[in-house]
Structures are given as C-alpha cells and as structure tokens.
C-alpha cells in the first residue's frame, strides 16, 4: 500500500513539474520576445586556429607569440562589452612574456623538437575561471566578501601550464561560490550567451565557456563538481572534459572541497573549441603517472563498444530531453553503423532518474556549511536578514545562493543513516556502470535536457544539472562534445562517459564526433 502511494505521489509530482515547466517556458519566451545580440564576427583568422596549431606556428616562426597574444587581447576587448565573460586581466605581463618567447625562438637556444617536447604550448595565451588561482589576479569565486582578494601563488594546474610555455591572459566569470549553473554574481554581474545574449552561459565555468565560444583565448581551464565544465561547454558549443577523479590536482581552486569525497567529485579540466587540444592539454595538467591513463596509446574507434541512453528515464523534477538533442543520438548511431559497422547498444538505466537525489545526498560533508562559505568562513550569514536585504535590493548575495544555504538545512547530516543510504545507492549504480563499460566502452548521454535557457529560467528548472552531476559522484571521466546549433541558433551536443582512468576513450570519441559532425560553430567570419 505504501509503495503504491509513493508511486502515485511521484507520478503526480512529475506531472505537476512538467506542466509547471511548460508554463514557465512560455512565460520566458514572452518575456524575451525579441532575439538578443550575437557575438561580434571574427575578423582575425588567427583566432580560428586550435591551440595546438598556434603552438606549432609559433615555434616554427610562422607567427610570433606577441602577434597571437595581441590577437586574443583585442578579441577579448571586442566581445566583453556585450558578453561580460572576462573579469580580470594581466595583458601587459602577457605581452612581456610573449616577447620573451619570441626572443628565445629567434635565438635558436631551443630547437623546434625540444620545444615541442618540453614546452608544447610555448607562447600560447589562455584563460581560466575566477576560482582557480593565478598569481596577482583576483580570486573571488564570485563572492562579494572576496572581491578584493588576489591570489598569492598559482594553482597547481596553472603552474603546469606555465611550465609548458602557455601564457595566462586573464580570468573569466563564475556563479557565486561556483554553486549554480548560471554565471551571475554581485562582484562581476551576469554573463551573456554569445549566440543569443538573452540566454545563459551555464555555470560555474560559464564565463570560460563563453570566452572560448567567442574565440577570446586559445584555450581555457574550468572546474567541475556537478557539471561546471560540461554544462557551460554545452550551452556555448565547445569541448570540455571533466577528468577521472584525483588525476588532476585541485590545489588552488576555491572553494576548497570539504572532504575527501568532495575532492573526488571535483575535477579541473580543459575547455576548448577544437577537440585536438583536449588530449595534449590533459597530458600537461595531470598529476597522476601518465602510464596509468595510457594517454599515449592510440585509440581505434572500431575497438570501442558504444552504449547510449537518450534521457534519465523520468527524473521527477527534470525537464524532458529536447527532441533535437534526442535526434543527435540517432544520427550518431546511424553514422557508426554505416561508417564502421559498429552497432551501438541502447540501454535504459533507471538509476539515472534518481541522479539529483544521489548527487545531493553524496555532497553532504562535515563542514563548513554554505552559510559559513557565504561569509568567507568568517562566521556565517544571517539568512532571514539576507533574504530581507535581497528583496530590498541591497544584499551582496544572489537569490540562488541564499536558497542554496536554506536548502542545505534540509539535507542529510554527514554520516547519518540517510547520507549513507545515498552513498550506497551511488556505489551500487557505479558497480553497474563499471560492469557495463569495462575498459573498452563509452556511454553517450545528454549533457543537459534543453538548449541554453533564458536568463533566470534555471530557477524554475533547478535539477536539470543532474545529467552532469551524477557523473561527478560516480567518479567517471566525461567529455562534452558540441554537435552544431539547433533550429533557434543555440548550441546542442552530448557527453561521452567512460570508466575511471579511461579518459583517452572520451577524448578519442570527441575527435571522431568533431570530424563527423563539425563541432564548434564559429560566429560570422569577416576576413
């Protein structure tokens, strides 16, 4: 009897949410009747090259590092008034470092072969999000109380990229404390989608996704604890990889994970326009032994077993998967069959319907709580007071940050029976996926159920992040792969998931899909 009532309640809630979601979609479409702006056209063809190609051209003297750096600085200045994705710069320092690169190359002190091996991204400019430390630049994580804090040293991942010759040129926008999937905060404001400024860029690496889509830097670095690399990559039409757990150091990322479990969920990884950049960038930033990941091994697509699932089988509070996104799976399955006689297998894992509950249950930690995080670990904010101040438009916090702090009060306490129940649910699901994928399988799965929503619309679809969040708590690597634009001109794509330490399979499939379906779609080009 109790089971029947629970099933009935779930069905009623699901129907209510579907109706509510439809009504709110209509509301936002009416609110944004006219189409927003697009990003400015690309006029400098340097911006179209992959980071790998730029590195080759720099070390072979086909172009100077200074010319490349100046090109991306100019592009960032051109796009930022419209998109508001870029929040702090080190342009002069980058110019000086580019000049040093050009002098070294001109002197011949290091051969092309040595540079390719020891400094594979020599002279190539990049950006990262405002929660990954770059010495001398802001380190706010979108939190008002950190608005004047600057990093005193580089994050580990930035140090590794500098050692490989890459040049950081600045920081990009995030959501408040990196805990929401729209990049908006009271320090830097809201970032706009480069394909239509009425729409979101995702979060928390939303500014970075936007910067990459608009060709503002050669490549970017993001971080991902619930989809913060993959959702912005999806909404902005670029590639983004969330690595296997523990293979990339999280030192220098703020907020700091509160437990070993949370640290395993968080992954720092590359974001870029061209799939060929993913593997060389990952090889640079990993702190695990490379032989453990077999990144130097060639991957033959014909030897990969493909599985796919088109939706989460009916999560109670998630939106239905957009039909144009579902169509992508059919196109891929047909292409694999016709090109390589690969028979992709459709699966239906109903555990995905519980993704948001599993993620939320596993994110429980011993502390500090979100109220303390919002005070920058100096006491804790007064929630009733902050809600009052928000309604009076004088709060230093976003409404979603306040609701997150409020919702946390109802989450299971660390090591409680309910917390351990969700840990067990996660582990059982993980074992099932490990058995399915083995060491030669990948799962194609939606990155998000809908194209980029309108600004503020995520408040009505809060749990849609679960399509990516579940992969974090399971501990698997995943790569978002762009597959063009939908009928409204917004990017769509899907994620490729593999077993732990099999990142190379995700990256190989990303390159395959880019070759087959086109990948990133640049804005108008006026050469």
Any idea where the domains of the chain sit in the sequence?
42-364+411-517
Which residues are 170's β-sheet partners?
Answer: 89, 127
Q: Which residue has the tokens 């490729």?
A: 496
Long-range contacts for 473-476 (Cβ within 8 Å, ≥24 apart)? 473/265, 473/358, 473/359, 473/362, 473/363, 473/426, 474/426, 474/429, 474/430, 474/433, 475/244, 475/245, 475/264, 475/265, 475/430, 475/500, 476/244, 476/433, 476/500
Task: Output the pLDDT for position 417.
Answer: 96
Point out the residues that are catalytic.
129, 204, 228
The full DSSP string for 231-281 is HHHHHHT-EEEEPPTTSB--TTBSSPPSSHHHHHH-EEEEEESSGGGHHHH
Structural class in CATH, domain 42-364+411-517:
alpha beta
Task: Output the pLDDT for position 10.
Answer: 85
Which residues are 132's β-sheet partners?
Answer: 253
pLDDT in tens, the chain (527 residues): 566 767 778 889 999 999 999 999 999 999 998 889 989 999 999 999 999 999 999 999 999 999 999 999 999 999 999 999 999 999 999 999 999 999 999 999 999 999 999 999 999 999 999 999 999 999 999 999 999 999 999 999 999 999 999 999 999 999 999 999 999 999 999 999 999 999 999 999 999 999 999 999 999 999 999 999 999 999 999 999 999 999 999 999 999 999 999 999 999 999 999 999 999 999 999 997 778 899 999 999 999 999 999 999 999 999 999 999 999 999 999 999 999 999 999 999 999 999 999 999 999 999 899 999 999 999 999 999 999 999 999 999 999 999 999 999 988 999 999 999 999 999 999 999 999 999 999 999 999 999 999 999 999 999 999 999 999 999 999 999 999 999 999 999 999 999 999 999 999 999 999 999 999 999 888 87
Long-range contacts for 321-329 (Cβ within 8 Å, ≥24 apart)? 321/446, 321/449, 321/450, 322/449, 322/450, 322/451, 322/486, 322/492, 324/451, 324/486, 324/487, 324/492, 325/446, 325/449, 325/450, 325/451, 325/492, 325/494, 328/483, 328/492, 328/493, 328/494, 329/444, 329/494
Give CA–CA dist 272/348, Å, rounded: 31
Helix %, strand %, coil % of the chain (to 5): 45, 15, 40
The pTM (predicted TM-score) of the whole model is 0.97
């Amino acid at each position: 009897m109790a089971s029947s009532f629970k099933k009935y309640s779930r069905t009623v809630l699901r129907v209510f949410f579907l109706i509510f979601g439809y009504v709110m979609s209509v509301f936002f479409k009416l609110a944004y009747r006219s189409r927003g702006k697009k990003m400015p056209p690309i006029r400098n063809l340097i911006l179209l090259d992959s980071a790998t190609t730029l590195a080759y051209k720099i070390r072979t003297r086909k172009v100077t590092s200074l010319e490349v750096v100046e090109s991306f600085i100019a592009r960032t200045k051109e796009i930022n008034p419209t998109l508001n994705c870029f929040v702090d710069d080190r342009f002069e320092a980058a110019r000086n470092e580019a000049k040093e690169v050009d002098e070294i190359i001109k002197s011949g002190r290091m051969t092309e072969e040595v540079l390719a091996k020891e400094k594979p991204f020599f002279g190539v400019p990049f950006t990262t999000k405002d929660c990954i430390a770059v010495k001398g630049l802001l380190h706010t994580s979108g939190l008002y109380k950190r608005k004047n804090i600057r990093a005193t040293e580089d994050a580990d991942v930035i140090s590794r990229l500098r050692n490989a010759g890459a040049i950081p040129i600045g920081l990009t926008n995030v959501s408040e404390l990196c805990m929401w999937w729209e990049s908006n905060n009271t320090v830097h404001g809201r970032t706009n989608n480069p394909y239509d400024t009425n729409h979101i860029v995702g979060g928390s690496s939303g500014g970075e996704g936007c910067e990459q889509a608009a060709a503002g830097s050669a490549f970017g670095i993001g971080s991902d604890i619930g989809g913060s690399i993959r959702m912005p990559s999806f909404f902005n039409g670029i590639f983004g990889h969330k690595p296997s757990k523990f293979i990339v150091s999280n030192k220098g990322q703020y907020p700091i994970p509160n437990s070993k479990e949370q640290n395993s969920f968080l992954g720092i990884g590359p974001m870029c326009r061209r799939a060929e950049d993913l593997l060389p960038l990952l090889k640079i930033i990993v702190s695990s032994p490379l032989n453990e990941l077999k990144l130097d091994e060639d991957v033959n697509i014909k030897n990969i077993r493909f599985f796919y699932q088109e939706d989460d089988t009916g999560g109670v509070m998630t939106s239905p998967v957009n039909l144009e996104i579902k169509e992508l799976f059919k196109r891929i399955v047909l292409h694999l069959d016709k090109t390589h006689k690969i028979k992709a297998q459709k699966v239906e894992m109903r555990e995905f319907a519980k993704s948001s509950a599993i993620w939320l249950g596993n994110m429980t930690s011993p502390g500090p709580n979100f109220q303390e995080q919002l005070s920058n670990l100096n006491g804790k904010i007064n929630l009733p007071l902050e809600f009052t101040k928000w309604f009076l438009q004088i709060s230093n916090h976003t409404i979603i940050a306040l609701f997150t702090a409020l919702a946390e009060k109802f989450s299971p306490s660390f090591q409680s029976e309910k917390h351990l129940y969700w840990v067990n649910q996660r582990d059982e699901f993980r074992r099932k996926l490990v058995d399915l994928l083995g060491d030669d399988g990948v799962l194609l799965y939606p990155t998000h159920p809908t194209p980029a929503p309108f600004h503020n619309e995520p408040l009505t679809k809060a749990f849609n992040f679960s399509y990516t969040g579940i992969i974090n708590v399971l501990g698997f690597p995943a790569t978002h792969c762009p597959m063009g634009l939908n009928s409204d001109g917004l990017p769509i794509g899907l994620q490729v998931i593999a077993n732990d330490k099999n990142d190379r399979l995700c990256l190989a499939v990303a390159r395959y899909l880019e070759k087959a379906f086109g990948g990133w779609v640049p804005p108008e080009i006026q050469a």
